Structure 1
């Protein structure tokens, strides 16, 4: 039973305080994830300083309509973090003007994309039709319970990052061979173990994939290889195994794997392949869901499957 919710309008102040504190905690989690040393409670004061080319304590207080001690406390914390500094006013030497430090300007550059995502996420959460503020709060807090505010912000940041930096997908180059090995070995050790067949293929991509008419694709972001996938010819003519898909740990959640899969499907259709086949494990529920989303259907696993860990086989007709 949510007592505050049950109080109705008379509990409005406490409800608003609870929502505010929740959003501050969740925002702090986002800052922590991206190694941003900042306190969300300092945002209003810092934003005023950022927007003006020199501002006084009194001007901040008047702009935010808060108490002078509250402004002074925020300024002292920003000074301690070395995000601002004080200088004398050119006209009145007794007056101290607050400006951003070099560290403060660098923080602005790093945190602005996060602020943009926070703002957009708040808009998404508060796009509510209601007959009263209490009803609005009821719906808002239910949304927070369904998906944490911090999770929604992080998802928006990730998707925005991919769009801004234009993920590129390139074909195999010899200098990418070590990335092909490293990404897949890390993935296998995280979720399963490295089988002898894995080690052999990953150590010799030219011999087992490229030289046999196969293809390897690499996801490149900011000149860094962050994901890979292969199309390996099978015994059945014009049928390829979609295999060796892996994404670096710090880039998971960006839907890079899905972009690599779409690249393989598009490529298979362009090359008039008959179908794509993949081996997986029902342990990977999210992966199986995505395979089905892209049209793969389950077929029987042969007794001499090349992978011990595989307990599901799927195919997608592309011709």
Structure 2
């Protein structure tokens, strides 16, 4: 499988370097063909390639469980009665996730293949091959961002409703419905630039942010988690890991260059707001790793569009593309060989 991923990486990178020379119809055709190929690879992947395959098979065999999202229940019944083969469930999820990603890339950026490269290096492995329900939910979220820019809150909420049908965590995305895409005023710039340092301050002070909320259910969950951690069954997350720190550096650099980038991509302000909150969530909920990872990864899907915008800040063009390619390659290698997102 790793050779297929590396082949896709090299092919997409090669296309990205000649993207400006391609006719728009050729670019769209290549985008669809590559996306379709990635969907097939994810849908027909071996059962021993990722961490969650067997869990989804078990869910498929007991899809009547009320704790499972309605979309999974309905798709499981559809696959059972039409195909009677769980492989088609994975294929349907892969097609949905890749379709939403391709549509979002086409609507949110002109850098089709750099964005596809960043998606391949991280979220394709994480969501396309592991957390497949989150993969579709995050795809709906990315697709919905265009409606925040136009102020179409009804369509945004409709997309978030669809996302929540695929993963309950997506319900929190309702909070972004009043986000605007206006360029940062001075106080907004300072506010968003201060969020991550403030979260690190909370981390160093060892404050449990969730315990500040007087919600009995959350307090009970935190007590259960603490008990498990004391027994050594759950370790804290590392808020200083290399990938996370690189993401912070890239985000602050793009925040600095925001006005320049906005001339080429009108979505940069919304993307930066969401990415900053994604990074903040990872630090803020350090004491509840599962929630921190899930929320940060759900919001962090904007990196697919955001990080390639480095292209507009660095000259010459080939240097900026090479830098984005190197960043994507580092994410890919750390994900595969260190974090073992997939087994090789």
TM-score normalised to the size of structure 2?
Answer: 0.28
Which structure's residues are more often helix, by fraction?
A: 2
Greater relative contact order (CA < 8 Å, ≥ 6 in sequence): 2
Which structure's residues are more often strand, by fraction?
A: 1
TM-score normalised to the size of structure 1?
Answer: 0.30
